[in-house]
Amino acid sequence: MKRPPDPPQLVERVRGMNIVRLGVQYLVVAQPLGPIDFERVRPENVPGIIVSESLHAARRAANQDNSIEGQIELSPTRKPLFTGEFVAFSEFDRVALSALVQRPGRNIRALEIGSWLGNGSTTTLVQQLQSRGGVLYCVDSWKGNPNVARHQAIVTEYDVFGTFVENVRRAAGQDIVKPLIMASSDAAAIVADRSFDLIFIDADHAYDSTRQDIELWLPKVKHGGILCGHDCEGRIEILSGDVLMRARNDDTVDGVHAGVVLAVHERWGSSVHLWAEEDVQLPNGETGRSTIWDIVA
């Protein structure tokens, strides 16, 4: 049985900011709380949480403003930003995700697990939330998926978190995006149940990781809210059973994210909605398919 995460512990205060330790990571709660109330150390009621694995970086963060521009200082690298081609989110995915964001109405509280460079689903979410008074929490380690060679190549050569910040800035999302630099499981430990209108999963596509993300984040969605994710190309029949099981912890096999397909099927079977099963139309009239899946909580 997996040991439950350690509870948050107040380490010190810097200029009225609380530095809280959660496991091996440090949270800077960017608003004075008085005597620390551990139940309040959650994104939905304490805006502006910044996360680092270094106490020194947390102290530095506590001495600066809580803007996303300030948070770039937490990036431990001085590598260049990534400006190359990396397309992992199609125009059809953008249309499908936009349609999902429009369902809850206004003042939407959304969370994304797996933001990576910030040029795909993050940009789409920002564009939709800006006009709806929304806020977006982005959970990522910004270290790339271990089973994706190109991720690791980019991490080695480029400042991935800095690239994310720049892409958010270009989308004019710096006022509504709140990065949480931590593992998905650590973020779920500080987020209250039933606190988000929409949660989008697009992190590690291995079966074990996808299944864990689904189980961790489904309780965090409000009743009637939406849990959704990326890279589910179809039902379980899309691959033979042997191939599906053998490749379940790879990123892709034959263009299919076997781990995602298997995890989504096991959790919901035929009740989950797959955008891969219907035509999606772009503004120019072109039609195609999206690999987004969604379920109402």
CATH number at residue 216: 3.40.50.150
Residue 80 lies in a domain: no
With 0-12 / 13-18 / 19 or more C-beta atoms within 10 angstroms meaning exposed / middle / buried, residue 70 is middle
Indicate whether 119 and 23 sit together in one domain: no
Residue 285 neighbours by CB distance under 10 Å? 6
Residue 146: per-residue pLDDT = 83
Indicate whether 124 and 202 sit together in one domain: yes
pLDDT along the chain (297 residues), means of 10: 63 73 71 47 52 72 53 56 88 98 92 96 96 93 86 91 91 90 86 93 95 97 97 88 81 86 96 97 97 97
Q: Provide DSSP, 69-117.
A: HHHGGG----PPPP-S----S-HHHHHHHHHHHTSS-SS-EEEEE--TT
Measured distance CA(137)–CA(110) in Å, rounded = 6
Indicate whether 98 and 54 sit together in one domain: no
The two structure tokens encoding residue 183: 């593992």
With contact defined as beta carbons under 8 Å apart, do 258 and 250 qualify? yes
Radius of gyration of the chain (CA): 19
Measured distance CA(256)–CA(262) in Å, rounded = 11
Q: Is the dihedral of CA 167, 173, 178, 184 positive or negative?
A: negative
Indicate whether 100 and 56 sit together in one domain: no
Indicate whether 245 and 106 sit together in one domain: yes
Residue 124: per-residue pLDDT = 97
Residue 51 lies in a domain: yes
Indicate whether 126 and 231 sit together in one domain: yes
Residue 86 lies in a domain: no
Measured distance CA(294)–CA(4) in Å, rounded = 28
Residue ending a domain, choose from 66, 81, 113? 66
Residue 75: per-residue pLDDT = 46
Residue 74: per-residue pLDDT = 43
| Residue 216 domain boundaries | 91-296
Residue 19: per-residue pLDDT = 78
Indicate whether 61 and 112 sit together in one domain: no
Residue 263 neighbours by CB distance under 10 Å? 26
What global pTM score does this model have?
A: 0.78
Q: Report which of 17, 47, 171, 18 is spatially closest to residue 9, judged by C-alpha positions.
A: 18
Q: Report which of 249, 60, 68 is spatially closest to residue 148, judged by C-alpha positions.
A: 249
Residue 140: per-residue pLDDT = 92
Residue 214 neighbours by CB distance under 10 Å? 20
Indicate whether 23 and 138 sit together in one domain: no
Measured distance CA(270)–CA(103) in Å, rounded = 22
Residue 77 lies in a domain: no
When divided into structural domains, the chain yields a total of 2
Residue 39: per-residue pLDDT = 54
Measured distance CA(11)–CA(62) in Å, rounded = 12
Residue 266 lies in a domain: yes
Chain position carrying tokens 């939406």: 226
How does DSSP classify residue 4? P
Indicate whether 60 and 107 sit together in one domain: no
Indicate whether 117 and 234 sit together in one domain: yes
Residue 3 lies in a domain: no
